[in-house]
Amino acid sequence: MSDLKCFISKVVGSVLSLLPERIKAELKKIAALRALHVKLSNIVAKPMSAVELDQDQERFHRYLNWQNTQLNELISKPLTDFDCNILICVPDGQEDLISATLDSISKLLGFNGSVIFWGTRSCTSELELYTSKFNLECYFVTRLNDCEPSLFNEPIFIINSGDTLDPRCLLALVDNTEHSQFAYVDTCIYLASNNQWLEPDFKPDFNPDFQYSNGYVNTGLWCKALESFSSISNQVTSHSIAAFVCHLGLNRRSGDIHHIPWVLLAQRQAFDMSAGVSSLEHTFHGHAELLHCNKQASSITLNWPLSSQPLVSIIIPTHNAKALVKSCIDSILVKTSYQNFEIILVDNNSDDPESISYFKRLSEQPKITVIEYPHAFNYSAINNFAVKHAAGDVVALVNNDVEVISADWLEQLVRQVIRPDIGCVGAKLLYSNGTVQHAGVILGCGGSSGVAAHAHKHFPGEHPGYQNRLVCTHNVSAVTAACLIAKKSHYEAVGGLDELNLAVAFNDVDFCLKVLQLGVRNLFCAEAVLFHHESVSRGGEDTTSKQKRFQRELNYLKGRWEEYVERDPMYHPHLTKQKENFSINDRYTCGHYKDRLCSQNPTRKDEVR
């Protein structure tokens, strides 16, 4: 059926391309036809098929070959003094996995430290049997405080029982941790049956909220001193490392945690954040409640405190489009459980009598204010104008072609945005056909524009996404203003949207990046779900003047935020920039590519969150 729809979409597109511009312009005024076009055009893209997944695995093998070449260059470098011990977490039931881990440790280049097994008292004798054949200095402890005193001030690399390490792992650590307090590496899955590394987990730079929901840093953690880890972790579990990294994020230590973008460790199985309820409840005590465990996606949902219910000013710009506005506002009024909001409808030169009459009736409702912006269309100026009329401490920029799906959409967004360390928050937006339209913005991605693209665009709405990102709330560099919520104080602090340089396109990306400079984090909220019939009322960049304006705005954004466009810290440099599906980049021979692989730069303003 999908093949038929794809064929129909292509046929319709070919026919429409033959029509005179005058007729096409008239057709674009019909919202229903625009919506149908959106539905048809969105069916052609999908997540990777089985064949594409196989191709992605082939790309990973090529990546590993490329990485081997890069890491081998480290062998020729003079090795400075780098004392590093290894701590292996051995929860009950995982004692039989340590043999492979010890085997890989015995092959580490430059390793002359100690191996500390952290397990329960009952497994000490079993561990001694496994270590007898390896020439390693090993300690067995049930409490980290029982470690040799001399070890507490020395660096430690913390892994889990069953993990296997790349032989050059320590060389990569010494090359990337000179100025770090903590660092983590990329991982993959180890298939023991044929000794193969599969399914790379290309992680973002430190992403606190992704850690809270997904526990994506759960092994391969380097600490400058064992003391910092032992002071927090007092009971070994499968979640000891993930919980510790959550603790660092919750206590504003995000700027101390750096990412080494090399696949240096393989795990026996994917980590399951939802399995460690007891230890996680302890970790988040006093910060957030554990609301839901998603076993299928191995993730959790947190309920952040809503001690007060701030007034939210929902700003909706429009030009005519009565049907769209009615659908949007009706869905907000009828479905929204969070009730402390006002709606500010901004009428931008509407000339349709039915729309004007409808807007007048809307203005008589207690929660709705209609204001007029009688100037040329400038999305940034319209929203800035409306914010000046907003009574709320929180502002929500919402397109007129958005419809509410989940009743708690606004409550979830508000819970996130009132956190002191959070800036802009965006929702999960679906096309009318149920596929993903927006799940955060990836900078430097997007094919022809190469500036910004929507993560997981066109994925099925129920798909978990790469690393379960579609169902896990996590930090992103930017979100779309089709549904964007922010503190009014933040909006005003950065001067709102850029009216002069970004009248139509990319103003939301620019705004989000400006907010990042305030020292807060932007966020994709997976729990807030709405429909978005993208640009149904405004139309596309389909005239020469619009295309020239779009190019100017694109060039401006590239120039102003070159560092982020070159490397989005919330996206991995080994992933493609040509698509939004998180497939592996196949350009490993480019001369400039190696320069982008250093651990994240600790001097960025937005990293101290």
- Cα–Cα distance for residue pair 197/210, rounded to 1 Å: 24
Q: Return the SS3 of 116.
A: strand
| Strands 474-475 and 452-454, sheet pairing | unpaired
- Cα–Cα distance for residue pair 100/120, rounded to 1 Å: 20
Predicted confidence at residue 120, as pLDDT, reads: 81
Predicted confidence at residue 313, as pLDDT, reads: 99
Across 86-95, 268-277, 330-339, 592-601, least confident range: 592-601
Interval 26-55 mean pLDDT: 51
Give the model's confidence band at 10: pLDDT under 50 very low, under 70 low, under 90 confident, else very high: very low
Q: Do domains 50-274 and 312-584 have the same CATH topology?
A: yes
CATH architecture of 50-274: Alpha-Beta Complex (3.90)
Interval 503-513 mean pLDDT: 98
**Residue 607 pLDDT > 90, yes or no?**
no
Interval 365-389 mean pLDDT: 98
- Cα–Cα distance for residue pair 46/573, rounded to 1 Å: 22
Tens digits of per-residue pLDDT, 564-591?
999 999 999 999 998 899 999 877 544 3
- Average pLDDT over the chain reads 86
**Beta carbons within 10 angstroms of residue 91's beta carbon:** 18
Q: Strand pairing partners for 114?
A: 137
The domain locations on the chain are: 2-41, 50-274, 312-584
Give the model's confidence band at 21: pLDDT under 50 very low, under 70 low, under 90 confident, else very high: very low
Tens digits of per-residue pLDDT, 288-308?
998 889 888 889 999 999 988
Give the model's confidence band at 223: pLDDT under 50 very low, under 70 low, under 90 confident, else very high: very high
Predicted confidence at residue 81, as pLDDT, reads: 59
- Cα–Cα distance for residue pair 168/111, rounded to 1 Å: 10
Please give the CATH superfamily to which domain 312-584 belongs.
Spore Coat Polysaccharide Biosynthesis Protein SpsA; Chain A (3.90.550.10)
**Residue 539 pLDDT > 90, yes or no?**
no
Predicted confidence at residue 79, as pLDDT, reads: 63
| Sign of the four-CA dihedral 484, 432, 456, 306 | positive
Give the model's confidence band at 233: pLDDT under 50 very low, under 70 low, under 90 confident, else very high: confident
